[in-house]
Amino acid sequence: MRPTLSSPWFTRRAVGYGWRPVSWQGWAVTSGVIVFAVTSIAVFKRSPAGIGLVLGGVAFYLLIASLTAGAPSTDSAARGAARAEHSTFTPAPLRPAPAISESEKATDPANAALLVERLTKRFGERIAVSDVSFSVARGEVFGFLGPNGAGKTTTVRTLGTLIAPTSGSAIVAGLPLSAANGGAIRQRISIMPESPGLYLRLSVYDNLEFFAGLFCLRYPAARIAAVLEAVNLTDRADDLCASLSKGLRQRVGLARALLNEPEILFLDEPTSGLDPVATREVHELIDGLRRRGVTVFLTTHRLEEAERLCDRVAILNTTLRAIGRPEELRTRLFKRSLVVRTAAPLAVPEHVFEPIGGVSRWSRDDAGRYIIDVEDPEKVAPALTRALVSAGADVLSIAESRHSLEDVYLEMVDEDVEARPR
Amino acid sequence: MTLSATRIRAVLRKELREFRRNRFIISTMVILPIIFIAVPIADLFRIPASAPPALVRNGVGATLLLLLVIPVVVPATLAAYSVIGERDQGTLEPLLATPIRREELLLGKALAAIIPSVTIAYVIFAVVFLSVRAGASAPVMAAVFQPSQILAEVLFAPLLAAWSIWIGMAISARSSDVRVAQQLSTLASLPALGVTALIQFQVIQPSVVLAVVLAAVLVAVDATAWRFVSALFDRERLITGIAS
């Protein structure tokens, strides 16, 4: 039967450190106190001062014992369940990828690993994040883009229960975002900050063992071996973290973030300051996580990284500016166009382009290329080719213009956030 | 409130590992108390066998009281570094992103600070007691080897160390700079020094009743300080530098 607040303190098993005679440690401590008291009284015989000291010692024990006695709090059952669920080591920590279509991924709240509603965070008068709403599907790699000071890290810290939102709500890994759920949420997620924050005087293994203890993992040694293997650092387990390069430290940070098999992994600028080789390694690790079905929330301002890794991206600049798949954002923001290069300028280009159906406008850029805005490049391109050949043009190339995510980003973020008055 | 012994043990083990990896932390903790206690101990050896009982009693009492300042002074720096140090080396955010409760973190760190501090204090006590046995005059030896004296030293050391640690950790949890925290935490030893000075100058008469009262006060302070320091520990303030 679960002990409750009405149970005497010495019968509650929700103990801290063996002060109470419930566990064997508790019995050992209590026996020690009794032996101490009896011995002391024997030593002091009938000295009032001695007896006072003995009674003081016993009173200290009782005071500490009663202060540290606590019935399970209301959320402890959930915490316990979460701990049991997540501390069980599965030798091959693979989760099947969710069988959900891309469009459903983005829209189905029931499948959301993360559901954020009107989240706002103020620091005094300064608004760091304002009225942000979005959802992230289970198993999705979600990019969170924005310039420095846009509120990316604040959003991650808020969703990771490190700081409290000023207003708004969220469901993180199935739990409502609240102070009471902080421990349970943190048990289900992992956050890797921009700087890995390792104990440099400790070895890689010691660092991981410490965090395995904080997550109360049931089989820490096996789990540590698995994450070291995942980041290809098994051979460096005994090296001091101080001796590792920045890229290797980042990998240790990633290994640490994987220890608890998180439902959601928050990666805050994981490749910041890394050289191209180390960056590629981190990208491969994130790809591996995607294959395992881990939800990854990736904040970055490296746009090629987001484009390469993310299913969807959100662009934040205190407020949410855009959200969607990179391709969708491009389509939404930019007209589709065909780029034509010819050996020589056309004599009368309007006679070539304007009769073609589906062409909305055309122009010529500084490089001498013709940019033709169209609704559907696949339909217009053959007609355009025929028209150019009929006009006697020497066509060098006809290609669809590709706007990069960087173009989208620059279109949405046109302000120097860091320089804004605070 | 449910506390996890596993998490407390993890913090304790990590802290002790860090102390072991940087032996200067512990070795430098020993130097100041040794210098501090050297002169009063030397004075004990100068007390002749023919000295009046009052002189012997006062000399021994003052020295043993000074010995009790050691567990106050020794852990001050460790405690001051405990929270702000994590922030300074960039490890606080990953640490707080785990399910650890602030009470667990603080208790683990307090235990880690108290173990070397009390060990150092006990070793110095033992050295002093053995030296007195080896070389002091018979009246001094008799005055030192009173069971109540020994018991008081043994009991008070952890109580005083815990008191010093909680003050240091409270300062550490609210400071924004490691240096400020370490400077302020050394002030934690002032009340203990004050009481010692008052007793030494016989403003307060040392007695068993006084010892019991002081012990009771320390027990009460130590038992409540953990909750008090936990309340001062503001995750948001520590991470962002801005109070929540």
DSSP of A366-386: TTS-EEEEES-HHHHHHHHHH
A293 reaches B (C-beta below 8 A) = no
Residue type, A333: L
Of A43, A48, A162, the CB nearest to B239: A162
Give the max Cα distance, chain B: 66
Q: How far is CA A161 from CA A174, A189, A212, B97, in A?
A: 14, 10, 19, 8
Q: Taking Cα atoms as reference points, which of A272, A262, A321 lies closest to residue A295?
A: A262
Of B2, B94, B95, the CB nearest to A73: B2
User: Which residues on chain B are in Cβ contact (under 8 Å) with A63?
Assistant: 219-220, 223
Of B225, B188, B241, which Cα lies nearest the Cα of B106?
A: B225
Chain A residues touching B91 at Cβ < 8 A: 197-199
Q: What is the pLDDT of residue A73?
A: 36
A52–B6 CB contact, under 8 Å: no
How far is residue A48's CA from residue A38's CA, in Å, rounded to a whole number?
15
Give the per-residue pLDDT at A367: 86
**Contact call for A40 and B7, based on CB within 8 A:** no
Q: What end-to-end distance do the CA atoms of chain A give, in Å?
A: 55
pLDDT under 70: residue ranges of chain B: 1, 188-189, 193, 196-197, 199-202, 204, 206, 243-244
| B6 vs A contacts (CB less than 8 Å) | 213, 216
- Nearest CB to B5: which of A16, A162, A206? A16
Check if A16 contacts B (Cβ < 8 Å): yes
What ipTM was assigned to the predicted interfaces of this complex? 0.87
What b/e string do you get for B154-181 counting C-beta neighbours within 10 Å, with b at 16 or more? ebbbbbbbbbbbbbbbbbbbbbeebeeb
CB contact under 8 A, B90 and A197: yes
Domain ranges in chain A are 9-68, 102-326, 335-402
Flag whether residue B213 sits within 8 Å of chain A, measured between CB atoms. no
What is the spatial distance between Cα A354 and Cα A374, in angstroms, rounded to a whole number?
A: 11
Torsion angles phi and psi, residue A21, rounded to 5: -80, 55
Phi, psi of A316 (to 5 degrees): -115, 140
Q: Is A17 on the interface with B (CB under 8 A)?
A: yes
Identity of the residue in B107, B151, B239 whose CB atom sits nearest the CB atom of A53 = B151
Residue numbers in B near A83 (CB within 8 A): 99
Q: What is the CATH number assigned to the segment(s) A335-402?
A: 3.30.70.100
Q: Which amino acid is at A146?
A: G
| Cα torsion B39, B44, B47, B51: sign | positive
- CB contact, 8 Å: B93 with chain A? yes
Are B39 and B139 spatial neighbours (Cβ–Cβ below 8 Å)?
no
- Residues contacting B111, CB < 8 A, separation 6+: B8, B12
Q: Going residue by residue through chain A (422 aa), what tens digit of pLDDT does each one get?
A: 433 434 444 554 443 334 455 556 666 777 777 777 777 666 665 666 666 767 777 777 776 666 554 433 333 333 333 333 333 333 333 333 333 334 444 556 677 899 999 999 999 889 999 999 999 999 999 999 888 888 999 999 999 999 999 999 999 999 999 999 999 999 999 999 988 999 999 999 999 999 999 999 989 999 999 999 988 899 999 999 999 998 899 999 999 999 999 999 999 988 887 888 888 888 888 888 888 889 999 998 788 888 889 999 998 989 998 898 887 777 776 677 889 999 999 888 888 888 888 888 888 988 889 988 888 888 888 999 999 998 888 999 998 877 777 777 777 676 545 555 54
**Nearest residue of B to residue A257 by CA position?**
B94
Q: Is B21 exposed, middle or buried (0-12, 13-18, 19+ CB in 10 A)?
A: middle
Tally the residues of chain B. 244
Give dist(CA A11, CA B194) in Å, integer: 42
**Which helix (H) or strand (E) segment is B162 a member of?**
helix B147-174
Question: Nearest Cβ partner of B215 from A56, A68, A212?
Answer: A56
Mutate to test the interface with B, among A214, A215, A240, A241 (most CBs of B within 10 A): A214
Q: Are B239 and A197 in contact (CB under 8 A)?
A: no
- Flag whether residue B147 sits within 8 Å of chain A, measured between CB atoms: yes
CATH architecture of A102-326: 3-Layer(aba) Sandwich (3.40)
Residues sharing a CB contact under 8 Å with residue A30, sequence separation 6 or more, in sequence order: A20, A21
Q: Strand, helix or coil at A119?
A: strand
Strand partners, A373: A337, A361
Q: Which residue of B has its CA nearest to A183?
A: B99
pTM: 0.73
Q: Which pLDDT belongs to residue A217?
A: 94
**Helix H or strand E segment including A332:** helix A326-333
Measured in angstroms, the CA of A187 and the nearest CA of chain B are apart by 5
User: How is the beta sheet containing A370-374 ordered, strand by strand?
Assistant: A359-364, A370-374, A337-342, A395-400
CA A335 to chain centre: 33
Q: What CA–CA distances, in Å, run from A46 to A10, A34, A51, A59?
A: 30, 18, 7, 19
For B74-106, the pLDDT digits (tens) are 888 889 999 999 999 999 999 999 999 999 999
Which pLDDT score is estimated for A133?
94
Q: What is the 3-state secondary structure (H, E, C) of A62-115?
A: HHHHHHHCCCCCCCHHHHHHHHHHHHCCCCCCCCCCCCCCHHHHHHCHHHEEEE
Taking the CA of residue B28 and the nearest CA in chain A, the distance in Å comes to 18
Count of helices and strands (H, E) across chain A: 15, 14
How far apart CA B46 and CA A246 sit, in angstroms, is 60
Per-residue burial over A204-243, b = 16 or more CB atoms within 10 Å of its CB, e = otherwise: bbbbbbbbbbbbbbeebeebbbbbbebbebeebbeebbee
B98/A76 touch (CB, cutoff 8 Å), yes or no: no
Subunit contact B211:A163, Cβ cutoff 8 A: no
Give the residue among B13, B45, B4, B21 at the shortest CA–CA distance from B144.
Answer: B45
Query: Rounded to an integer, what distance in angstroms lies between the CA atom of residue B107 and that of residue A65?
Result: 14
- Positive or negative, the CA dihedral B151, B152, B155, B158 is negative
CA distances to A203, A221, B18, B239 from A199, in Å: 8, 19, 8, 17
- Round to whole Å and give the CA distance between B31 and B129: 19
Determine contact: B100 vs chain A, CB below 8 A. Answer: yes
Q: Which of B14, B155, B210 to mutate to test the interface with A (most CBs of A within 10 A)?
A: B14
Which residue in B has a C-alpha nearest to residue A43's C-alpha? B147
Give me the residue label for tokens 């980042």: A250
3-class DSSP assignment, residue A164 = coil
Q: Which of B217, B238, B20, B1 is nearest to B103 (CA)?
A: B1
Please tell me the predicted confidence (pLDDT) of residue A201. Answer: 93
Identify which of B22, B89, B216 has the shortest CB distance to residue A56.
B216
Write the CB contacts of A340 (distance below 8 Å, at least 6 apart in sequence): A369, A370, A372, A384, A388, A395, A397, A398
A127 at interface of B, judged by CB pairs closer than 8 A: no
Distance from CA of B5 to the nearest CA of A (A): 6
Q: Do A191 and B93 count as a contact with CB atoms less than 8 A apart?
A: yes
